[in-house]
Amino acid sequence: MKNATNAPTFRLSRAGLIALGLLQLPMGVLGAEAPSGLAAGPLPAAAVDAIPATLDAGAKQKLMATGSTSSFFQAQPQVDLCTSPLAAADITRTLAASHPNIGVQTLVAAAMPARLGARPDRDLVLYNLLHQFHTMEGIQYYSATHGQMRVFFTASYVVKGPGDRAMVADPHFAAIEPSHDFYLVQDDSTFGRNLYAASVKKLERGAIELTMSNVEKVRYGMVPVLGPGALRITLVVQPSADGRYLYFYGNVGIKALRLPGLETTVRNSFYNRTIAFYNWFSRLAAQA
């Protein structure tokens, strides 16, 4: 998805230009980065009607046509595309506390890989896949600025904690745990190395929720552009009730400067960030 070419002409202060750089975060295009992943495509009406989310007519039409839908919000957080009521409640509560002014939510539904769907431990496999943070290293995003795919994270790994950032192995579980917390270091090709607080929760109907937020200031070069906790990312993966589909939901909220006239740029940037995560996870699921 590219930026509109007919955006109005205006001037930005230095702070505005820095914020614009932040809003054009590295992202991916659906299916472009992960040809071996799960390709989203048109869905039957019955499959769309079975999705456990509050879908309006427009969202249903997009899902039937492409297998994905998204919406952009600026003030009031939106969670109507979320397939898990418990995750939706978590997101609403978290974003209400952090007061983001820009965000996007995206839902993708793709056919469940036959091999994964046939496994008796399918849900545990999905749970462990969501913990393979080291595999985010080298994933790509579509850069609207450069008009091409670029590396998103040059490094991604779990650490012991804020006071000890020694790398540790990705966690692997013999059984699904109700919830746990940990820390990640991710080296963004644009915004450098940052520490994130992350948590994973087991939810209803096989849903698994991963949340991430920045612990410290995020900088663009030497200039701070995000305060601690200003970026909130939530990913939810969930099998459909009949096991035929895999739902992937992403919600990103950020507390940033308002930039009138850049709504399309902002929406595209956040959409692409979410899709980069979908491409990452769908590739893992396809290979499981």
CATH of the domain at 92: 3.30.530.20
Does residue 3 form part of some domain? Answer: no
pLDDT at residue 25, as a whole number: 37
**Sign of the torsion formed by the C-alpha atoms of 122, 126, 132 and 136:** positive
Q: What pLDDT score was predicted for residue 18?
A: 39
Task: Confirm whether 5 is domain-assigned.
Answer: no
pLDDT digit string, tens, across residues 8-41: 222 333 333 333 344 443 334 455 444 467 889 9
Distance CA 48, CA 272 (A): 23
Structure tokens at 195: 């520490």
Q: Give residue 15's pLDDT.
A: 38
3-state secondary structure of 71: strand
Whether the predicted pLDDT of 260 surpasses 70: no
Residue 136 lies in a domain: yes
**Is residue 206 domain-resident?**
yes
Domain assignment present for 7: no
For residue 72, what are its two tokens? 């952009």
- In which band, very low, low, confident or very high, does the pLDDT at 219 lie, cut at 50, 70 and 90? confident
Does the residue 276 lie in any domain?
yes
Distance, CA of 70 to CA of 109 (rounded, Å):
12
In this model, does residue 211 exceed pLDDT 80?
Answer: yes
Mean pLDDT in the chain?
85
DSSP, collapsed to helix, strand or coil, labels residue 8 as coil
Q: How far is the C-alpha of 269 from the C-alpha of 155, rounded, in Å?
A: 21
pTM, entire model = 0.86
Examine residue 8 and state whether it is found in any structural domain, yes or no: no
Q: How many domains does the chain have?
A: 1
* Structural domain of 189: 14-287
pLDDT at 148 over 90: no
What is the number of other CB atoms lying within 10 angstroms of the CB of residue 50? 15
H-helix segments, the chain: 14-23, 45-49, 57-66, 85-98, 114-117, 122-129, 263-287
Q: Is residue 28 domain-resident?
A: yes
